[in-house]
Structure 1
Amino acid sequence: MPKRRCHTCNTLLASDNQGTQCSRCAAAATLSPPNLPPEFWTRPTLREAFEARNIGLLFRAYRQAQSPKVPQTTLAAWLDLTQGRISELERTRRAVTDLERLERWCDALHVPHHLRWFTGGARRLPDAATLYAARTVEPPTPYTPQPWAPTDQTNDSPTAQDQNIVHVAVPRLRRALDILDIPDDGPTRTLAELQADVTTMNTHRLEARYGELVRHLPALIGELSRARQLFTTADRRHVASLLTLALRAADGVAYKFRYFDLSARLIDLMRTTAQESDNILLPAAVSYVRTETFFASGDLHTASRALDQAADQIPTRNLKQAATAAAFGSLHMRAAVVAARAGKADVAADHLLTARHAAHTAPEGIYDGTAFGPASLRIHELAVAAELRDPAGIQRAATWEPPSHLPAERRSHYFIDLARAQLDLGHYEEAHICLQAARQAAPEHTRSHPQVRQALSVLLRTHPSLSSGLLDLAAWAGAR
């Protein structure tokens, strides 16, 4: 009788072991997904799932291709989901458009990167330009990347120009951080002039003007670093506040363009400068931003814990003051989204209720760089409903539209979340309309958002009627 080996660790199997794994590997497999050999992913059922670009099909094929077959309960435990959620995904085969969820699930199952369709690594479907050609419609002229461009340079596609400038400018931004404690020599303006520039940069961030940010932030961060060393002790504390807000503006670019290492570095620097500042509420604003680090890593438990700790540090005796209420409410608003992403509907509802009480005190406005108020809260309520796949909550949100005075980035977030929710419900044309509205509100933010490209990719495959408007939007966003 030929000797049999464990297909995981290659050790010899006992004669009475009728399985394909040794006892140690079999026990470990119940705790976390196994690292499967490359040939496993080439099996016909898995190949069909990848070609269909459907996570529910992939879950089913993944479970059934193993011996013994992996139960839904085991797969649910590996992915931190419920068995009912796994069953729903496999049964309905509804497309999941949340890129972060897809990445987290595929990371957990050790899906090879070249097979992940949502990153562009899997089999390529005809892209929007090909679809244009099939309909005898001329595709837009592609933008040729340019070297560093001054602000007065003209281009037929300013959004494309600004996106390319972001990538070109990132090394300059990194260098500004490298020499934060030993800045280059140069002029240093007055505190009032620096304050005005930082305010302008935060307006650019809130309005999603990323090209403007990277053109000016490296020099401004350097000048603030010099002021931090040259000014009097009292003024230095105010400079630390300004530097924190400038670093936050830089993080707005780094995180949106998926430079997650740079974003994490900026947030660490923000935590330091916020502690040096003369604004006792600034650390709360930094904690709000810090959630991005945990979103990027998928560590929702720590994200929730960090937000709770930050909220506990806000003096409750001052909650009748608008600025304090806004800082407190913003943290709970963010915590609600974290809880919803983790599938904790009750916890999310509690956080939203707390944020709602704070919004009664704080009118809509910008507080230490964060938009908070009744309208911002409604946008987060939609995000929670979208994460929880709550049709009633999504329907309530769809009857409202963010006012024009809200920052452009926040308005576009609303439409992107609503598009994702409508797509999950099978409302394809409504999703398309929402993406067009997001583009109109904040083109740079919308074009760089991975969920927009993912949603458009789904629409290109599933929309019953590919209009020229949808094809134009997909070509503009680079969706396939």
Structure 2
Amino acid sequence: MPTTTRRGVGQRIATIRRARRMTQADLARAAYVSLPTVKGIERGARSPSDDTLDSIAAALGVDPSHLVAGSTRTDSRVHAALPRISAAIGAYDIPTDDVPRLLDDLGTDVVQLVQWRLAAQYARIAEQAPQLLTEALTALHHSTGADRLRAAHLLATTARSADAVAFKFGARDLSARLVELMRWAADQTEDRIAQATAAYVRTETFFAARAHTAGLRALEQAIDACPNPLSSASTAARGALHMRAAVIAGRSGNTDAVTLHLAQARCLGDAVQEGAYDGTQFGPDSVRAHEVSVAVSLGQDHLQRALDVADEWTPPDSLPQERQSGFWIELARAQVWAGRPDDAFESLKVARFIAPQHTREHPWARESAATIRRLKRADAESLTSFAEWIGAV
């Protein structure tokens, strides 16, 4: 690792460590490395190995990509894992002779996978997903009764996390297969909320194909099939479907459907506490963030609504990183359209700080960065550096 890169990594580690109110000794203990190693890395005198960087990142509660300016390391880890994910689900419906893991142990690992997804830590998901998909499939095929229902739910949840990686990194065929696996597993849970969650995720395939009208129709059918909002879980499931229906209605230019679904999402969002329900974040803050997404989806004629929301509200730190960064990316798009490139660049930088992997792989972030650089070609070196990082040049 070049000296300048080592120094940058060390500075980022030190900055995040101080923000966490940790001493160097605290970090060394939490990362299971020596104190001289931490001091050397922060000083730029030592280059951390991949294992050491992973340990330090875990101790700081961030993805390793937060600590490395470039993205090559994350990209290579993700792309190397995609064929293994594909292989793991190739014969999903054929039982093997493997011995299944205890469901409690498997469940603990699947919960961790969900947390990584909400935090946009795709490299970690990619490395663990192939094995967990294999183990979840084995558990499903070798379980009966209530254990089989639980194994089906674990499989659906694992497939969703793996899909987040495939979809964000452009492996759309693999993403579609993982979505279908999730739907297959959700049907076997006999749980209508799990089936609603699968319908929510399935919308990705409609976004990818730009089949917005068909996607809206599918979501409205899922809303009709969703349980009545009598509990927090069922309220959140129905509200999330309305929230996503408003976005895809915006993409199709159906303003009447936008108004209807956004109103329902607001009403249901106000009825529950913000949180992750069956792996989907929902609540009043999530609905507010989606108001910006809806306004941007409707196009430039509606951008003032996105700007107004951002003037009144910004995502709290308690929201998952992926949702926070999505807000800033979509706000940047509105700011570009409004002729405010400096504000848009600031929004993109906030998105990168919160969730670098999500930001770098987001097509709208890349498009906005390219537009900003074109408008401000003679601007500061930091803009060119950002555009190179995100792949906009």
TM-score normalised by L of structure 2: 0.80
Question: One-letter code of the match for 1:445?
Answer: H
1:157 deviates by: 4.9
Among 245, 248, 256, the residue aligned to 1:346: 256
d(CA) in 2 for partners of 1:274, 1:223: 17
1:344 is displaced (CA, Å) by 1.9
Whether 1:456 aligns to 2:369 is: yes
1:336 CA drift (Å): 0.5
**How far is 1:412 from its partner?**
0.5
**Does the aligned pair in 1 maintain the 2:71–2:389 contact within 8 Å?**
no
Aligned partners of 2:74 and 2:52: how far apart in 1?
11
My pick for the range that moved more, 197-206 or 461-470, is 461-470
CA deviation after TM superposition for structure 1 residue 153, in Å: 6.5
- Whether the 8 Å CA contact 1:139–1:475 is kept in 2: the answer is no
The 1:139–1:429 alpha-carbon spacing in structure 2 relative to 1, beyond 3 Å, is farther
What is residue 188 of structure 2 aligned with on the other side? 276
1:265-304 counterparts in 2 under 5 A? 265-304=177-216
Partner Cα distance (1:220, 1:464) in 2: 46
Which is further off, 226-235 or 427-436?
A: 226-235
Equivalent pairs, count: 333
CA–CA separation in structure 1 for the residues paired with 2:353 and 2:246: 27
Amino acid at match of 1:177: I
Paired residue type of 1:396:
D
Q: Which of 167, 179, 196 in structure 1 is aligned with 2:108?
A: 196
Structure 2 portions without partners, runs of 5+: 7-48, 54-63
Cα distance between partner residues in 2 of 1:178 and 1:433:
43
Q: Which of 289, 294, 308 matches 1:379?
A: 289
CA distance in 2, matches of 1:153, 1:320: 48
Whichever of the two has the greater Rg, that structure is: 1
Please give the alpha-carbon distance, in whole angstroms, between the structure 1 residues aligned to 2:223 and 2:276. 18
Q: For residue 231 of structure 1, what is the aligned residue in structure 2?
A: 143
Distance 2:234 2:271 in 1: 9
| Deviations 1:414-458 (CA, angstroms, capped at 9, x unpaired) | 000000010011110010000000001101111111211111111
Cα distance in 1 for residues equivalent to 2:142 and 2:156: 17
How far off is 1:181 after superposition? 3.1
Cα displacement (A) at 1:251: 0.6
Q: Could you tell me which residue of structure 1 aligns to residue 87 of structure 2?
A: 175
Tell me which residue corresponds to 2:31. Answer: none
Q: Which amino acid aligns with 2:238?
A: F
Sort the Cα spacing of 1:157 and 1:459 in 2 relative to 1 into closer, same or farther, 3 A. closer
| Structure-2 separation of matches of 1:233 and 1:200 | 25
Cα distance, 1:183–1:457 mapped onto 2, change above 3 Å: farther
The answer on 1:322 being equivalent to 2:232 is yes
State the shift of 1:190 in Å. Answer: 1.4
Alpha-carbon distance between aligned partners in 2 of 1:161 and 1:153, rounded to the nearest angstrom? 14
Q: Is the 8 A contact 2:236 2:272 kept in 1?
A: yes
What is the aligned partner in structure 1 of residue 345 from structure 2? 432
Tell me which residue corresponds to 2:274.
Answer: 364
**Equivalent residue for 1:446?**
359
- Check the 8 A contact 1:251/1:266 in 2, yes or no: yes
| 2:152 is the counterpart of 1:152 | no
* 1:355 and 2:265 correspond: yes
Alpha-carbon distance in 2 for matches of 1:239, 1:209: 24
In the alignment, the residues of structure 2 paired with residue 354 and residue 372 of structure 1 have an alpha-carbon distance, to the nearest angstrom, of 13
Decide which of 175, 181, 191 is 1:263's aligned counterpart.
Answer: 175
Give the Cα separation in 2 of the matches to 1:184 and 1:257.
30
Q: Which residue of 2 aligns with 1:468?
A: 381
Q: Within 2, Cα distance between the matches of 1:189 and 1:396?
A: 51
**Partner of residue 225, structure 2:** 313
Compute the displacement of 1:284 (Å).
Answer: 0.6
CA distance in 2, matches of 1:153, 1:184: 36
Separation in 2, partners of 1:469, 1:457 = 13
Q: Is the 8 A contact 1:439 1:447 kept in 2?
A: yes
- Report the CA distance between 1:195 and its aligned residue: 1.0
Residues 193 and 227 in structure 2, CA contact (< 8 A), matched pair in contact too: no
> For 1:54-69, what aligned pairs fall within 5 Å after superposition?
none
Q: Tell me what 2:246 maps to.
A: 336
- How much has 1:472 moved relative to structure 2? 2.0
When the two structures are superposed, what TM-score results if normalisation uses the length of structure 1? 0.66
Pairwise CA RMSD: 2.1
**SS state of the match for residue 436, structure 1?**
helix
Determine if the alignment matches structure 1 residue 248 to structure 2 residue 160. yes
Q: CA deviation at 1:479?
A: 1.5
C-alpha separation in 2, matches of 1:448 and 1:339 = 24
Percent identity, aligned pairs only? 40
C-alpha spacing 1:207/1:235, structure 2 compared with 1 (3 Å): same
Change (3 A) 1:139 1:475: farther
Of 211, 217, 230, the match for 2:129: 217
The Cα of 1:183 is off from its aligned counterpart by 5.9
Q: How does 1:87-126 map to 2 (within 5 A)?
A: none
Aligned 8 A contact 2:307 2:335 in 1: no
| Superposed displacement of residue 189, structure 1 | 2.4
**Aligned residues of 2:307 and 2:334 also touching (Cα < 8 A):** no
Secondary structure of the residue aligned to 2:281 is strand
- Alpha-carbon shift at residue 187 of structure 1 (Å): 4.9
Q: CA deviation at 1:288?
A: 0.7
Q: Are the aligned partners of 1:408 and 1:441 in contact in 2 as well (CA < 8 Å)?
A: yes
Contact 1:429 1:463 in 2 (8 A): no
SS of residue in 1 equivalent to 2:276: strand
> What pairs with 1:122-137 in structure 2 (closer than 5 Å)?
none
Q: In the alignment, residue 473 of structure 1 is paired with which amino acid?
A: F
**Counterpart contact for 1:271–1:283, Cα < 8 Å:** yes
CA contact (8 A) 2:249 2:257 kept: yes
Displacement of 1:339: 1.1
Higher RCO, Cα 8 Å, sep 6+: 1
